[in-house]
Structure 1
Amino acid sequence: MQPVEIKKDIFWVGCVDYDHRDFHGYSRSPEGSTYNAYLIRDEKNVLMDTVYPGWAGNMLCRIAKIMDPEKIDYIVCNHMEPDHAGSLAEVVARVKPEKIFVSTLGYKSMQGYFDCKDWPIEVVKSGDKLNIGKRNIIFQETRMLHWPDSMVSYIPEDKLLISNDAFGQNIATSYRYADEHDQGDFVRAIKEYYYNIVLPYSPQVLKTLPIVESLDIDMIAPDHGLIHRGEKSVKFIVDMYRQMAEQKPQQRAMVIYDTMWHSTEKMAYAVCSGLEEVGVPTRLMSVKSNHHSEIMTELANCGAVIAGSPTHNNTIMPLMASTLTYMKGLRPQNRVGGAFGSFGWSGESAKVLHEMLASMGMDMPADFVKCNWTPRHEALRACVELGKTVGEALKKKCQGE
């Protein structure tokens, strides 16, 4: 691919990884990903971030179409995670920069990843300004959005915010701008990224958004995915981040389940019927058929989670256990929960599920439902009632009651 000039003398020089599917080792990226880096051509030439290990040559070839990489004076490391800094040692050896700029906590991470004692490192903090000629780069630390070292870079002369992981998505495409891409797919990718990576740091997002809104910007360039250009696009992504961070309940439910001999599956369908009876749209998801990151992406649209599992070794099935453990770590807020399960002899699963959802802070308006062996009319009726009770509780929550 060719470099793309996103502003006068500012170029996208990143890499597009069409085959990447396992993002950070725990989240699926069904459309691949991009590792965005940006080159600023000025009196001092600046490379903003680098790329994933193994992709440095690709990035340097792209830079070479603009200038000799050795003419780069400065490297700015907004974030030390390896998908943005993993090739840093290779790039430093090739470029031989005058200075490398990094946040205070970024420097600690840099020392952990690299033998960098001989590198020309300068530590910066929020409000520090770097003049590079016609432009200034103003640094703003955004700690725990989503790593302690995270930092964004603002270039007021170009109304440009280089935003690190914030406002990013996993999309591998030849398009560089959000307004060029299918909008339904783009919104799904934003939710997928936010709900699997950024969600636990929503309080930090809500603190950071007013800072972003105070800046005079008409472009946000993240380190993954598509660039937001124009005031309309910038407002759209900022508003969407606020909506996701606030986690206001939505009148939609998800029923997630695992099953052994289809008994719990039958119960799951009955729970869905109860939700639908009270007018709550519902998504049914098997944890065997849906990866935990796909379930979290769906949670972006749902104010209720009802989980079901057979009893297995006095507890729940392993895929359900891993899914709920993953969900708990991402700290969803303002949800309503419910639990159900089938069993042959000991019957602990429904109670375990109920307690796991309650431990996430979910409202639990109904007792769990459990069924011995195959569910018949009485058990299925109880599942319908569970769905109705959770659905009604969700509707009240959405209305602020």
Structure 2
Amino acid sequence: MKKNVKNNVDWVGYIDWELESFHGDDYSIINGSSQNAYLIREGKNVLIDTVWAPHRFEFIENLKKEIDLNDIDYVIVNHGEVDHSGALVDLMKEIPNTPIYCTPNAVKSLEGQYGKHDWNIHTVKTGDSLDIGNGKSLVFVEMKMLHWPDSMATYMTGDNILFSNDAFGQHYAVEEMFNDKADQCLLNREAMKYYANILNPFSPLVAKKIKEILAMNIQIDIIAPSHGAIWRDNPLQIVEKYAQWADAYQENQITVVYDTMWEGTAKIAHRIAKEIHLQSPDTVVKVFNCAKSDKNEIMTEVFKSKAIAVGSPTVGADMLSSVAGWIHFLKSLKFVNKKAAAFGCYGWGGQAVKIMQESLKDAGFEVIDESIKSLWNPDEGDYDKAENFVKSLLK
């Protein structure tokens, strides 16, 4: 079912209310998602992106209800990842000679995933344009590493729509389609979660690309991403947020993350949280057991934090595997300008705290010297260490 975006531009994508995970099981979906594709009908008819392969046949059948497929003049592939290109192979079986416009890297992506086909592919770079009639054009902007090397955005003149693909999107199902119709708390939360867990490693490139787009001095009335709500009410608000998020973002928050074997490390985690509140009542404190809580939700809180405290007991002369895996994911997100500390219980060796400290340094955090190591179970002496521990985190 189509939904009108503006004038002769319609949304023809798929809303997935039941989706629970993405990128395999690496990204949690809590509020549904969508794969946004767009159909432009001007002097030329243009399809921008498709949908994920599980929905390809429904997508094509719905598209046929809107337009004779043979009347599609151009197909734009902004990004070759399967959630955007999954219907392309079956679509091109119907219209094999239709020109496809994408970046050179997108050709590698499409051929690598679907094999080589005798498609009519035209490669483009930033600044290239395509006349679509009625005085309007599509202008292409390469978006390398936002978040794949092949990514690009497409700007439609006249209607001033930026089809931004994965940039500025959210994994969020919005039947009402537009940002001003969405639940604002969920919209902002899902936009930040998307940035923190997917785009944060590329923050220097995000900042550079935003400056490049703004330097083009183009009017942007709508930002139409490939997931979630379309930004029509003050669309540049999400661009401004990206600029903030890309600049070593933090709020007045500390997040405590731990796993525990026999609750001793959990007790220390809760004491640290209490001490943070005592020393700095205005600081937001969040506490998570990383073995029981959603890792993407935790990382969103880490993204907001100025400091973190990470805890694990020692087992097998190391930290728990749950904590080790969590820190490995933490490292991949390349957070900057944040402090960290380590704590935990032990019975024999007690190596976990030092190993966590080194791992957190490797993840790019400024690690304080203070730690809390408790033999067997924490006592008042261990709890007393929380005062200096927290003072150092708050400095």
Contact 1:209 1:238 in 2 (8 A): yes
Q: Residue 265 of structure 2 aligns with which residue?
A: 264
Establish whether residue 177 from structure 1 lines up as the match of residue 178 from structure 2. yes
Establish whether residue 58 from structure 1 lines up as the match of residue 58 from structure 2. yes
Mapping of 1:2-401 within 5 angstroms? Answer: 2-25=1-24, 26-134=26-134, 135-213=136-214, 214-230=217-233, 232=234, 234-279=235-280, 280-391=283-394, 393=395
Contact 2:60 2:87 in 1 (8 A): no
Q: Which amino acid aligns with 1:307?
A: V
C-alpha deviations, 1:17-50, integer Å up to 9, x for none? 1111111120101112100000011222111011
> What CA distance in whole angstroms lies between the structure 2 residues aligned with 1:289 and 1:47?
42
Contact 2:50 2:85 in 1 (8 A): yes
> What CA distance in whole angstroms lies between the structure 2 residues aligned with 1:145 and 1:337?
28
> What CA distance in whole angstroms lies between the structure 1 residues aligned with 2:249 and 2:360?
18
Contact 2:250 2:303 in 1 (8 A): no
C-alpha deviations, 1:112-157, integer Å up to 9, x for none? 1123331111111111111111221111111111100010001121
Contact 1:272 1:384 in 2 (8 A): no
Q: Which runs of 5 or more structure 2 residues have no equivalent in the other structure? A: none
Task: Find the residue that maps to 2:148 and give its secondary structure.
Answer: coil
Task: Find the residue that maps to 2:367 and give its secondary structure.
Answer: coil
Deviation at 1:259, TM superposition (A): 0.4
> What CA distance in whole angstroms lies between the structure 1 residues aligned with 2:247 and 2:270?
31
> What CA distance in whole angstroms lies between the structure 2 residues aligned with 1:205 and 1:278?
36
What's the RMSD between the two structures over aligned residues?
A: 1.3
C-alpha deviations, 1:293-337, integer Å up to 9, x for none? 111111232111110001111111111111110011010111011
Q: Which amino acid aligns with 1:4?
A: K
Q: Which amino acid aligns with 2:303?
A: A
Contact 1:50 1:85 in 2 (8 A): yes
Task: Find the residue that maps to 1:65 and give its secondary structure.
Answer: helix
TM-score, normalised via structure 2 length: 0.96
Identity of aligned residues (%): 34
Task: Find the residue that maps to 2:154 and give its secondary structure.
Answer: strand
Deviation at 1:338, TM superposition (A): 0.6
Deviation at 1:97, TM superposition (A): 4.5
Task: Find the residue that maps to 2:54 and give its secondary structure.
Answer: coil
Deviation at 1:5, TM superposition (A): 1.2
Deviation at 1:98, TM superposition (A): 2.1
Q: Which amino acid aligns with 2:149?
A: P
Q: Which amino acid aligns with 2:236?
A: K
Which deviates further from its counterpart, 279-288 or 324-333?
Answer: 279-288
Deviation at 1:246, TM superposition (A): 0.6
How many residues were matched structurally? Answer: 389
Task: Find the residue that maps to 1:246 and give its secondary structure.
Answer: coil
> What CA distance in whole angstroms lies between the structure 2 residues aligned with 1:291 and 1:381?
31
Deviation at 1:388, TM superposition (A): 2.8
Task: Find the residue that maps to 1:39 and give its secondary structure.
Answer: strand
C-alpha deviations, 1:329-385, integer Å up to 9, x for none? 010111011110111101111111111112222222332221110100001111343
Which deviates further from its counterpart, 13-22 or 363-372?
Answer: 363-372
Q: Which amino acid aligns with 1:173?
A: V
> What CA distance in whole angstroms lies between the structure 1 residues aligned with 2:238 and 2:62?
28
TM-score, normalised via structure 1 length: 0.94
Task: Find the residue that maps to 2:246 and give its secondary structure.
Answer: helix
Q: Which runs of 5 or more structure 1 residues have no equivalent in the other structure? A: 394-401
Q: Residue 398 of structure 1 aligns with which residue?
A: none
> What CA distance in whole angstroms lies between the structure 2 residues aligned with 1:340 and 1:227?
43
C-alpha deviations, 1:232-266, integer Å up to 9, x for none? 2x121011111111123322100000000000001
> What CA distance in whole angstroms lies between the structure 2 residues aligned with 1:140 and 1:318?
42
Contact 2:80 2:109 in 1 (8 A): yes
Q: Residue 399 of structure 1 aligns with which residue?
A: none
> What CA distance in whole angstroms lies between the structure 2 residues aligned with 1:158 and 1:390?
50
Q: Which amino acid aligns with 2:255?
A: M
> What CA distance in whole angstroms lies between the structure 2 residues aligned with 1:182 and 1:389?
38
